Amino acid sequence: MTERAAQPAPGARPAAPEATAPPAAPTRALARVHSIEDLRRLARRRLPRAIFEFIDGGAEDETTLRANRAAFERVRLLPRVLVDVSRIDPSTRLLGRIAQLPIAIAPMGAAGFARRGADQMIARAAAACGIPYTLATPANASIETIAGIADGAPRWFQIYMLPRRESMLQLIGRAAGAGYDALVVTVDLPIGGKRERDLRNDLSVPFRYTWRNVTDFARRPRWALPMLLGGIPAMENLRGIAPSAPDARGLSSSVGRGFDASFDWDAFARLRDAWRGKLVVKGLLRADDAQRAVDLGCDGIVVSNHGGRQLDGAIATLDALPAVVQAVAGRATVMLDGGVRRGVDVVKALALGADAVLIGRPVLYGAAAAGEAGAVRALEILSSELVRAMQLCGATEIAQLDRGLIAAATAAPPTTWR
């Protein structure tokens, strides 16, 4: 349920954190960056093929990965005109906290493989922008480290279904003790999808060095040297508590091998009882599942197909969104994850009923390309595009991004999944 924030800075762009001035070379490169796709190209040039394709790719034939973008491209807008749009307020309230944009950072495991310290860089960028940051269970930064970096800013912790329930409770307790506002439970990963790019690139954790990937890494010395000097980043939150989770093929197609495929609605209800704060369930596509989650006390729903990285052939998230919104009927915050690359995509998602969107790849492209300055630049781009799109649609605040802006022929009809 979206609520207006009180007196935010209208249309303000996020500023780079003062304490971490970016080096000159990234600044020069970023001067020519005007879109998320520009950042993606920079990231591709800097990263080894295996690492870039781990970030960029999806499962099997990648039909769902492509469908997420195609769904946004199908939707057409009906802008209102002759509206005073000299002042724009893109702020909202998410899970009880003010967000300066209707955007949150999605959980991203192993972000540190794109650039050492990427989790911290993205968390600082999110805090500077005034939006929530979600720390993933298999992140390369600890719960406590991110809590210190994002002190005072909205921060959420994402949990996977680990095989040992006591391990999950330990992580949840640490997140509660560190002051995280919400727990995000990812439910669409009972087993891992088949990520064929990772298999072809010999990508695994720990790295299984082969002629193929050693040659690949050697071609990108700007990436390889920091990894060689500092060591391959560890999944800090899994140290000592879930040894089977980051197993020997943890980044490949069996990424979910160490998770609990038996985790069901009863186990989820017990998890709801164990967490006192806001609870978000991520990975729902069906209206009936969303309704059941809200009935169990969820405060938020993330309509997500894991960025096309698990079940190939799953419905695009934008197409699934209207049915979930209809089923939730305002009883919980509904967010969309997957395929957001432009500010106008945010407008389309909100016009179809979402309260906010989650983004992952855009800021990770930025961090991979130019460190913290690149992550900040990704958020600057999306922020400025969102404000511009609102002005061109005749909407001065988030509440005005309604279904009336969607051309009838392109609006995905509500579908009841039974």
Residues 323 and 287 sit within 8 Å (Cβ to Cβ): yes
Residues 351 and 4 sit within 8 Å (Cβ to Cβ): no
Contacts of 226 (CB under 8 A, 6+ apart): 115, 116
Query: Does the active-site annotation cover 34?
Result: no
Q: Where are the alpha helices (DSSP H) in 329-360?
A: 343-351
Residue from 61, 69, 51, 81 nearest 309 by CA: 61
The pair of structure tokens assigned to 392 is: 């061109």
User: How distant, in Å, are the alpha carbons of 14, 112, 370, 373, 386 from that of 23?
Assistant: 19, 19, 9, 9, 28
| Strand bridging mode 356-359 / 182-186 | unpaired
Residue from 262, 268, 260, 329 nearest 297 by CA: 268
Q: ∠ CA(404), CA(405), CA(406), 5° rounding?
A: 90
Burial 163-179 (b: 16+ CB within 10 A, else e): beeebbbbbbebbbebe
The span from the CA of 108 to the CA of 92, in Å, is 23
The span from the CA of 104 to the CA of 74, in Å, is 24
Query: How far from chain centre, in Å, is Cα 56?
Result: 13
Residues 230 and 116 sit within 8 Å (Cβ to Cβ): yes
Tokens 């991004």 label which residue?
Answer: 401
The span from the CA of 241 to the CA of 263, in Å, is 18
Residue from 80, 86, 103, 83 nearest 2 by CA: 103
Length in residues, the chain: 418
The span from the CA of 177 to the CA of 134, in Å, is 16
From 249, 306, 361, 377, active-site residue: 306
Catalytic residue positions, numbered: 306
